[in-house]
Every structure is written in C-alpha cells, then in structure tokens.
Amino acid sequence: MVGKPVRPMARSICESLFGHASDGVLVVSADGQVLRANPRAGELLGWTEAELLDLDPDVVVDPRDVRWRAALDTREREGVFRGVLRLRRRDGSTFSAHVTTAAVRDDESAGAYISFRDTTPTETVGVRTVKTPRAAADVIDSLESFSDMYVGVDADWKVTHLNAQTEYRLRVSRDDVIGGDLWEKFPALVGTRFEQVYRSVMRTGEQASLEDYYAAADLWCEVRAYPLFRGGMGLYFRDIGERREQEQERERLLAAERRARAAAEEAQRALAYRACHDELTGLLNRSGLVQEVESVLAARPASGVTVMFIDLDRFKLVNDSLGHVAGDQLLTVFARRLADVARPGDLVARFGGDEFVMVLFDASAEEAGRLAEEVVAASRQPVDEDARLRVTASIGLASATGTANLETLLREADAALYRAKDAGRERAAWFDEQMHLESVNRVQTELDLRLALDRDELFLDYQPAFDLRFERITHVEALVRWRHPVRGLVSPGEFIPVAEECGLIHRLGEWVLARAVEQAVRWAHLPGLRVWINVSPAQLADRGWPELLAAHLERVGLPADRLGIEVTESAVADRSRLTEVLERVRALGVQIAIDDFGTGYSSLARLNEFPIDVIKIDRSFVADLGTPRGEALLAGIVTLSHAIDAHVIAEGVETVSQLAALSALGADSASGYLLARPAAPEHLPLVIPTELDFSWRAGLHPTLEKAFSSVAGTRPLTCAPVGEDGPVPIVPLPA
Ligand code: C2E
Ligand code: CA
Ligand code: CA
C-alpha cells in the first residue's frame, strides 16, 4: 500500500460518499449554477441528476421561505449555515429539510455545497397531537418553515412562539415579543374581532377561524386559532389580500354586469310597454289595440265588433291658447273618463293627438249609441275648477259581425266621424254605405299614383347619415318624392300607405330600387358610400324579391355591399317567411336595417331572430333626449343594439344638443335636418378626400361646425384613415 498515491484514493472515497450519501448534496458555483448533484438529491427533489445540473437553484428552493435569504447571509458571514429550510420538489410541492450549506473554494473557483435531509414532519399535524418534547420540537421546526404566520400563546396570553414569517410580515422581532403579553405586544388586536375570537377559543377550547382586516399590518388575513394540548393557543395567519382582491374584482364585474343587464331588461320592458301604449294617457296605442283586437277575435271569431272613433272638437284651440301642459291635462282626464265609460272587456286606445278609439265587443247598435252619448256627455264636463278647459267630442261609429276587419272598421268609423263633425260636432254618427264615396279621395290618389309611375312624376331625394366618431358621411337614404301635376309635392307619408293598400307598392318599390342602384353606381368613386332604400313589408312578403334585388344589382354592376334595405319593425313583428327572405338578401351581401325602431313591436328577443346590421332609432326617441327618461331609454336601446352587434343610427337629429347627447350615449351614426336635409344627388355634399386631414372641416356649414365642436367636447375627435373602403368625409353644405 505504501507508495500508492493518496490523492486518487481520497477522491474515490469522496466520490463514494457523495454517491451513496443518505443526504441530498448539490454543489453550486458562485453564480448559482448547479455543478454537481448526487442521486439522493435527485430522489428527494424528483429530478434526475442530469436535469438538476441545468437547474437554477431557485427552482428547488421554496421562494416563500423567507429564511433562505438569512441562511445565505449567515453562510456568507460564517462560512456555513445549518437549519431547517423549505425545498421544492419537481411537482411544485414543498417539504422541510435540515439543510447544511457551506462555502467551498479551490484554486480556481468559489462556490458552495448544500446538503439536505428531509425532516418529514407534516404541516397538517395539529399542535393538539404534539405529545413528546421531541415531536414538539419537530413541529416547531416545521412551523419555522411555514409560509403561514404562526404565533403561540400560553394560557396566560404569554407569547411562547413566533415564526420567521410572522417576524417578517408583521415586522416584529422574536426577542422582543416572546415572553410578553399578547395584548401588550399587539395592542392593535384589542377591541377587534380577532380579540373576540381568540378569547372565545381560549374560553371554550373549541377551534375557530375568521377572516378580517388587521389594520396594524395593513393585512387581510385568515386566522385559524387552535387550542393547544397543554393550554394556550396556536394562531395561524394567512395573507388573503390577493384572493380578496380577486373576489372583489369579480364581485365588481358581476355587479356591473347585473346593472347593465337590468338596464337592458328595463329598457326592453319599457320598449315593449311603450310599443303598445300611449305614453301620455297610458291607454293602448294603435298597435296595442290591433294586437288586443286580434287576440279577442282569435279566441271568439264570431264576435260582433263596434269601433267608436272619437275626436275632441276644438282641442287644437285649447292647446294653442292655454299651452301644451293644459292640453296634456285635458287629454289625460278625458282618457280616464273614457275608461270609466267602457264596459268590462271593451278596449280603449289613443291614436295620437286628440284621437281616441274605443272597441266594443258584442254591443247592440242601441248599446253602442248609448255609450257614444255617454262619451259625448263626459267630454262636456270641464276638466279644471275654473272651467277654462272644456271641449266636446265627435264620434264616428262602425260595426261588423263575424268577419270583422279592424282596419276597414277604423276607416269607416273615421269617415263617419267626419260626417258627425260636418253635422255640427258634439254628436255621434254611424257609418253607412253612402260614405264609401268619401273615400274617393283615396281612390283618386291611387289612380293618380298609377299614372305617376308612367309619367315619371316620382323622383328620389337622398339624405346622408354621419358617422359620429369619424364625422363622415357613411351612407345616404333614398326617399321617394312625388311631384303631382295638380297637388304639387305629395309626401310619401301620404301616398306610400295608399300604394301599400292597393298593391301598387310592388311597382313603386321596384322603381325606387332601380333608380337607387343606378345612382349608387354613379357614386362608385366615393369610397365606402352605401345607399339605403326603404322596403315595404308587402314587398318582402313576396318570395321572389331577393331575386329581383339581385337582378337589379347585376343589371347595373353594383357591388352588393353598396346597398342596404330598411325594413320597419312592424314587418319584423310578423315573422312568417320574413326571416327566410331577409337571410337571402343578407346572403347577397346587402345590409339590413330595422327602421323606426321603438315605435312598433319591440322585442329584442325577436329581433335577434333576424339578420340585422343596423338599428335606426325613431326620431321620437331623439326628440325625447334631454329628459332623464328619454336618455335612459335611448341608452338602453343602444345597449340592446350593440348586444346583437347592430350599428345604431339615430334619426331626426334637429339640435346640437341632441347630437352631443347621442354621441355621448354611444350611438354610432346620426341623421337629421341639423346635419343634412334630403336633397337631390347633385346637391349632396359628397366629395372624395384628397388627403388625411381635418381641413375639410374648415368650411363646414356653421351649424355643423358648431355641432361637431360641441361633440368634440365630450370625446376626442379621431380621424379614420380613408382607404379604399374608408368612409367619405363631410364637406361644406350650401349655407
Ligand atoms: P323614414 O324611412 O323614417 O324616413 C325618414 C323621414 O324623416 C323622411 O321623411 C325624412 O325626410 C324625415 N326626416 C329626416 N330628418 C328629419 C329631421 O331632422 N326632422 C324631421 N322632422 N324629419 C326628418 P319622408 O321623406 O317624408 O318619408 C316619410 C316616410 O315615408 C319614410 O320614413 C318611409 O317610411 C316612407 N318612405 C319614403 N320613401 C320610401 C320608399 O322609397 N319606399 C317605401 N316603402 N317607403 C318610403
Ligand atoms: Ca327609412
Ligand atoms: Ca325611420
């Protein structure tokens, strides 16, 4: 043996110790890289030796164990550290280990070795189960490595233990606290729920827990208090600040969502109610009455139906001389009286203005006549004490049995009403056959309209709509006009209903479609400009309509995305084959808008069944802006519309404040006399932008400039890049 070199021998002994050690050993370089690892280290940590070599030691250290830092400091100072620290396994679980770590150095480099042995105590060991001093010591050791805070007190409230986490989190030192009275050392506990709970645990010997804010350390904590075997109590604290924040954030989001949902539901209820009721008097409105009559007739088809058309004489005079408030008061009182006259089961509605309608079921002519007399008598009663507000009523009556058609009856009762008025008012008149002659006017309109189509008396005006964010014209709506050779300009409000009734709407509608696509082609050079046309429900009831539409697009070579169709809500209400037709229109690439939204049957649930790109809010809602109720309703509609991904256009904007309010409420676009009146194509303010700037605003119509300046006050102005598909900017309107 003599003469054999010692060094290799020593090295192999070292290797053997290293390889077979029951402790895990890691050798790390000064910069923290693992240089060597023995098999036991791999076993304890759950990595292979090779994997350990690539690891950052931070991975195996439990980062929540604040004592690692102290351990490294100690090693720095004294060359070696011994103590219990927490390590982390590959699977993320942690365990306590007796750790020795010492600085090592050779000729070339410095580093450290770390050896560790699993102490295998379990954290879940309750302090109650501690029986022997040895076990207690182990548990206390493991408490040291807890990520929770731990404080132990004896039966006299003297602090017996306090772990490193507690020192660190509560910024106290053991030397100072241990042996002291809990309430003296932590005076902030006195008077808190913590104190209540601790005292009750001490008193009852029952464990307890609570979550509360510990102000002294600005800490939300969860505390579990366990009575100890030998008297006294162990207190575990856990910082739950993060969890609470998450919970509160979730709670906030949920509350916001609940509020938004409630607002949308409220708006929907309000819409549904408003759709069927007159706002001023609370009576049914026209569409409400139609629905109610339909449902009665569906249940009892053979019912006799009598329509009483009631009009207040000289109501306009009251309104003009005494003002709207007085007028509204009169209408409200009269509405109540009507409801009083009506028998159970009769329906009472207000059609707007001073027009009321009562529908009686199965009333004899005598009974209806008597009720009409009662209504006239009721109207004579003064409304206010000094009897300034008084009017009378004229009434037209019409009835039918079996196959009653409400629209026909309404028309007949209306005609009878005129006869009552002609006969000197303050009376009722029955419709008779002779009165058919009085609808001659309507028939004349129909005849003239047929000729108008052949004689080219119709033309289209176009009204632009503006994107509220980019202040650009994004589309124009085609509105049909009739220049009658004798009557002059007749408004579409007058002749469209006639056309719809007599079926002329199909020819008229196709004429509009043909002219509108031709004009759209002339505007092909304006990027992104879409032309919208109004389409009557009757047109859409025709299954062949989508083909007609496609044929016209093809005839002029207009891309489908340059066209949109506006459909009224009433059309949407009776869905029948409408969905199918609209789907086919949509499939062509033509957009779909719901027109006059809010005036007809408004149920988002049903709208959702239809393909809809745009919701056009009726101008009555815009007129209501400025009242809190009007704004809330509009905000609700905007929310509903955005919820079904529809673009919101508000119609009939006439004032700057309406425009500003709409912008603030999140409406996407707006149109109205304030922005531009309907006009012939050559008078429309459309040009192609030459560069991306705001200079086009410089010469704006003064009202418009002012409007946009005020909108700009509520939100910053942005300017969208105007590319191929970009919107068209606004250009000066003729003053
Ligand atoms: P609409 O589709 O709701 O069209 C908007 C109406 O409001 C137009 O009346 C327009 O001139 C008017 N308007 C626009 N801005 C304002 C404003 O700021 N204040 C006020 N007070 N009114 C404004 P117009 O042209 O008399 O049309 C009435 C209705 O006739 C249209 O209502 C639409 O339902 C129907 N109509 C018009 N053209 C056609 C058409 O080609 N086909 C069909 N089927 N219906 C049409
Ligand atoms: Ca329209
Ligand atoms: Ca409209």
Segment 57-77 shows an average pLDDT of 76
Matching CATH number, 277-431, of 3.30.70.270, 1.25.40.10, 3.90.1310.10, 2.40.50.140: 3.30.70.270
* Cα-to-centroid distance, 672 and ligand 3 (Å): 10
* Cα-to-centroid distance, 618 and ligand 2 (Å): 9
Q: Residue 103: pLDDT band by 50, 70, 90 thresholds? A: confident
Segment 132-136 shows an average pLDDT of 45
* Cα-to-centroid distance, 614 and ligand 3 (Å): 12
Q: Would you state the pLDDT for residue 135?
A: 45
Token pair for 224: 């579990």
* Cα-to-centroid distance, 228 and ligand 3 (Å): 78
Ligand 1, residues 479, 533, 599, 657: which to mutate, most atoms within 8 A of Cβ? 479
Q: Would you state the pLDDT for residue 697?
A: 43
Atom of ligand 1 nearest to the CA of 678: 11
In angstroms, the CA 409 to CA 334 distance is: 23
pLDDT digits (tens, 9 = 90+) for 399-432: 887 676 888 899 889 989 988 887 778 888 888 8
Q: Would you state the pLDDT for residue 732?
A: 36
pLDDT digits (tens, 9 = 90+) for 352-388: 888 999 999 999 888 999 999 999 998 888 887 776 7
| The one-letter amino acid at 163 | N
Ligand with an atom nearest the CA of residue 493: 1
Ligand with an atom nearest the CA of residue 538: 1
In angstroms, the CA 333 to CA 123 distance is: 79
Nearest residue CA, atom 42 of ligand 1? Answer: 534
Q: Would you state the pLDDT for residue 140?
A: 55
Atom of ligand 1 nearest to the CA of 539: 44
Atom of ligand 1 nearest to the CA of 653: 18
Q: Residue 128: pLDDT band by 50, 70, 90 thresholds? A: very low
Angle at 286 (CA atoms; ends 280, 290), nearest 5 degrees? 140
Nearest residue CA, atom 8 of ligand 1? Answer: 479
- For 455-684, CATH number? 3.20.20.450
Determine what percent of the chain is predicted with pLDDT higher than 90.
Answer: 30
| 601 phi and psi angles, rounded to 5 deg | -85, 110
Looking only at the bridges linking them, the beta strands covering 94-105 and 110-118 are: antiparallel
Residue 639 · residue 627 · CB < 8 Å: no
Nearest residue CA, atom 29 of ligand 1? Answer: 493
| The one-letter amino acid at 498 | V
Nearest residue CA, atom 21 of ligand 1? Answer: 652
Ligand with an atom nearest the CA of residue 652: 1
Q: Would you state the pLDDT for residue 184?
A: 93
* Cα-to-centroid distance, 501 and ligand 2 (Å): 19
Q: Is the pLDDT of residue 570 over 60?
A: yes
Helix (H, G, I), strand (E, B) or coil at 66: coil
Residue 164 · residue 86 · CB < 8 Å: no
pLDDT digits (tens, 9 = 90+) for 14-32: 676 677 777 888 888 877 7
* Cα-to-centroid distance, 581 and ligand 3 (Å): 21
Nearest residue CA, atom 19 of ligand 1? Answer: 652
Ligand with an atom nearest the CA of residue 460: 1
In angstroms, the CA 684 to CA 666 distance is: 26
pLDDT mean across residues, the chain: 81
Atom of ligand 1 nearest to the CA of 500: 44
Angle between helices 406-422 and 286-299 (to 10 degrees): 120
Atom of ligand 1 nearest to the CA of 536: 44
Q: Would you state the pLDDT for residue 483?
A: 95
Residue indicated by tokens 């579990």: 224
Beta bridge partners of 304: 401
Atom of ligand 1 nearest to the CA of 491: 26
Nearest residue CA, atom 41 of ligand 1? Answer: 480
In angstroms, the CA 662 to CA 653 distance is: 9
pLDDT digits (tens, 9 = 90+) for 431-487: 886 665 546 667 788 889 999 998 999 999 999 888 887 667 788 999 999 999 988
Nearest residue CA, atom 22 of ligand 1? Answer: 652
pLDDT digits (tens, 9 = 90+) for 193-205: 999 999 999 988 8
In angstroms, the CA 545 to CA 543 distance is: 6
Ligand with an atom nearest the CA of residue 593: 2
Q: Is the pLDDT of residue 280 over 80?
A: yes
* Cα-to-centroid distance, 595 and ligand 2 (Å): 5
In angstroms, the CA 210 to CA 200 distance is: 12
Q: Does domain 8-118 have CATH number 3.90.550.10?
A: no
In angstroms, the CA 535 to CA 532 distance is: 9
Residue indicated by tokens 């579409």: 492
Handedness of CA 583, 585, 587, 589 (dihedral sign): negative
Q: Would you state the pLDDT for residue 685?
A: 65
Token pair for 535: 């389409």
Nearest residue CA, atom 3 of ligand 1? Answer: 596
Domains 8-118 and 277-431 share a fold: no
Q: Which residue has the higher pLDDT, 8 or 78?
A: 78
Entry field: residues in the chain = 735
pLDDT digits (tens, 9 = 90+) for 588-601: 999 999 998 877 55
Least confident window among 111-120, 265-274, 351-360, 673-682:
111-120
Residue 114 · residue 99 · CB < 8 Å: yes
Ligand with an atom nearest the CA of residue 654: 1
Cα 329 versus chain centre, distance: 37
Nearest residue CA, atom 33 of ligand 1? Answer: 534
* Phi-psi category of residue 249: left, alpha or beta, with phi > 0 → left and psi -120 to 50 → alpha: alpha
How far lies 118's CA from each of 23, 52, 147, 267, in Å?
8, 18, 17, 65
* Cα-to-centroid distance, 277 and ligand 3 (Å): 20
Q: Residue 72: pLDDT band by 50, 70, 90 thresholds? A: confident
Segment 625-648 shows an average pLDDT of 87
Q: Would you state the pLDDT for residue 439?
A: 61
* Cα-to-centroid distance, 676 and ligand 2 (Å): 15
Alpha helices in 574-618 (DSSP H): 578-588, 604-607
How far lies 327's CA from each of 195, 317, 330, 683, in Å?
69, 9, 5, 41
Q: Would you state the pLDDT for residue 703?
A: 47
Nearest alpha carbon to residue 180 among 200, 159, 207: 159
Atom of ligand 1 nearest to the CA of 460: 41
* Cα-to-centroid distance, 477 and ligand 2 (Å): 7
Token pair for 710: 């005020």
Query: Would you list the domain boundaries of the chain?
Result: 8-118, 121-239, 277-431, 455-684
Residues with CB under 6 A from ligand 1: 463, 479-480, 491-493, 496, 509, 512, 534-536, 566, 595-596, 619, 651-654, 672-673, 678
Q: Would you state the pLDDT for residue 575?
A: 67
Segment 260-267 shows an average pLDDT of 87
In angstroms, the CA 425 to CA 311 distance is: 10
In angstroms, the CA 220 to CA 224 distance is: 13
In angstroms, the CA 617 to CA 651 distance is: 6
Q: Would you state the pLDDT for residue 320?
A: 74
**Contacts for 385 with CB less than 8 Å, ≥ 6 apart:** none
Q: Is the pLDDT of residue 249 over 50?
A: yes
* Cα-to-centroid distance, 319 and ligand 1 (Å): 27
* Cα-to-centroid distance, 463 and ligand 1 (Å): 9
Ligand with an atom nearest the CA of residue 496: 1
Nearest alpha carbon to residue 146 among 220, 205, 62: 62
Q: What 3 state SS string does 250-304 have?
A: HHHHHHHHHHHHHHHHHHHHHHHHHHHECCCCCCECHHHHHHHHHHHHHHCCCCE
Q: Which residue has the higher pLDDT, 215 or 8?
A: 215
Nearest residue CA, atom 23 of ligand 1? Answer: 652
Determine what percent of the chain is predicted with pLDDT higher than 70.
Answer: 82
Q: Is the pLDDT of residue 723 over 70?
A: no
* Cα-to-centroid distance, 491 and ligand 1 (Å): 9
Q: Would you state the pLDDT for residue 434?
A: 61
* Cα-to-centroid distance, 139 and ligand 2 (Å): 80
In angstroms, the CA 347 to CA 232 distance is: 80
Helix (H, G, I), strand (E, B) or coil at 618: coil
Token pair for 661: 């309010």
In angstroms, the CA 140 to CA 461 distance is: 89
In angstroms and rounded to an integer, the radius of gyration of the C-alpha atoms of the chain is: 43
Q: Residue 161: pLDDT band by 50, 70, 90 thresholds? A: confident
Atom of ligand 1 nearest to the CA of 505: 44
Nearest residue CA, atom 7 of ligand 1? Answer: 652
Nearest residue CA, atom 35 of ligand 1? Answer: 492
Q: Render 504-533 in DSSP notation, one character per residue.
A: THHHHHHHHHHHHHHHHHHTTTSTT-EEEE
Q: Would you state the pLDDT for residue 5?
A: 45
* Cα-to-centroid distance, 588 and ligand 1 (Å): 25
Atom of ligand 1 nearest to the CA of 651: 15
Q: Is the pLDDT of residue 577 over 80?
A: no
Nearest residue CA, atom 17 of ligand 1? Answer: 652
In angstroms, the CA 225 to CA 235 distance is: 5
Nearest alpha carbon to residue 661 among 697, 706, 624: 624
Segment 552-572 shows an average pLDDT of 89
Residue indicated by tokens 């982390």: 88
* Cα-to-centroid distance, 518 and ligand 1 (Å): 21
Residue 613 · residue 593 · CB < 8 Å: yes
Residue 561 · residue 506 · CB < 8 Å: no
In angstroms, the CA 263 to CA 270 distance is: 10
Nearest residue CA, atom 25 of ligand 1? Answer: 479
Residue 615 · residue 592 · CB < 8 Å: no
Superfamily of domain 121-239: PAS domain (3.30.450.20)
Ligand 1, residues 475, 508, 534, 616: which to mutate, most atoms within 8 A of Cβ? 534
In angstroms, the CA 318 to CA 645 distance is: 46
* Phi-psi category of residue 586: left, alpha or beta, with phi > 0 → left and psi -120 to 50 → alpha: alpha
In angstroms, the CA 69 to CA 86 distance is: 12
| The one-letter amino acid at 627 | T
* Cα-to-centroid distance, 590 and ligand 2 (Å): 16
Q: Would you state the pLDDT for residue 35?
A: 83
Beta bridge partners of 313: 392
Nearest residue CA, atom 13 of ligand 1? Answer: 652
**336-364 CB burial, b ≥16 within 10 A, e <16:** ebbeebbeeebbbbbbeebbbbbbbbebe
